[in-house]
Structure 1
Amino acid sequence: MGSNKRKKPKADLRNYYTIFWQLGLVVVLLIFITAMKVEWVSEKQDVDLTQEQEVVEMEEIEQTKQEEKPPPPPRPQVPVEVPNDEIVEDQEINIDADINMDEPLPEPEEPQEEEEEDFFVAVENMPELKGGLGELQQKINYPDMARKAGIEGRVIVQFIVNEDGQVEDPRVVRGIGGGCDEEALRVVKEAQFTPGRQRGNPVRVQYSLPITFRLQN
């Protein structure tokens, strides 16, 4: 009886050891599981943060586009008034006119050559009035119209002295009227000249004479 009582405490201690070992094992497992969960959650958070950062980095910033304004419309043209008084003549065009291709085309007109002057203006020996200008003035008959009107002055007559010394084509280049111009022409037509000469040969020369009309008091 005494031996059974001594062995009993040892058996109890073994049972206690087994229970403590099992409890310790459970506690260790719980701690391990808890630690694993904490690490897994932290890794998940880290992954999410990196993903969010990557998303932020990949976002593109849209540039604001400046809207181009269309150019302003052109100003309307101001209408110009056209006078209604002007009448535009209608030109009639004969469309039905027959064209004969067999007919020869009209020859172009040849330009008319200007007639060369057959007289000289200045020569070596100019014409000379026979008898002088004083003798020619004495042949003048003062016109009554000019006398009554008191017209006085000088009439200049221009003409050609030909190779024979005669006057051709006299004309008044400056007159005074009152019949004096006609009287000056009459007197000059009767004038006789010594013909002008160029290199010893008689030639036609343009000449002018002043015929004076003066009233005597």
Structure 2
Amino acid sequence: MIAGSKIVAFGGGHALGNPPLAALWDRDQDPIAGLDCVGQLLKVVGRVLPMSREPLEIQGRLRTWEGAQVVRGQKEVALARGELEELTLIPENAKPTEEGLRAIADADFLTICPGSWFSSVMPHLIIAPQRKAICELKARKILILNWPANVTNPPEELGDTGAANHLEVIRTFAPDFKCDFAIADQIITGGELISSQIARNSGSDQHDSKKLALCSREIMSAEVIR
């Protein structure tokens, strides 16, 4: 978790590996003090905060053709094949840091960034007190979807099942989470999503033919100009 300038970001892409962090943790017996020390050394803008003060491990229960299977560990859960039925953190009663909860409460924007879906994204939405803080937050929430797998970026998590399945994991295990914006490259969606007011009126479940025609004309005109 990176907090700064009223923005809180969850995600991967950490430039510093785990060994230096583990060494500082062992020295100070405090992950927050260790991360603050690293932040000062690297002149980090903002503050890097751990989700919990205790080491956590992710565990998943899957339904496969052989029956139920329990796997533990980020890589093991990410590469497992089958229908994911349960996703938990070990220990299950882990507490989030007060510093992290305060940063969330004070944020004007919250971004869930690209990264390992099972080690950098979902843990923040599994630990109950933090999920509650995120879901109840009035600040705008931005979800940034991972880049799709290809030849240079081989499929790993969720068996290369696409962005829809990543969203389904969130919907299944954090159903109260709602984002205000989702950012994805066009190559992920296969096209461009057009958001427009096309209902007859507020609360209607029917299209307004004039609004729909105007929206269609704008799309066609833009394509002709392009």
* Structure number with higher relative contact order (C-alpha < 8 Å, ≥ 6 residues apart): 1
TM-score w.r.t. the length of structure 2 is 0.16
TM-score by length of 1: 0.17
Q: Which has the larger Rg?
A: 1
Q: Which has the higher helix share?
A: 2
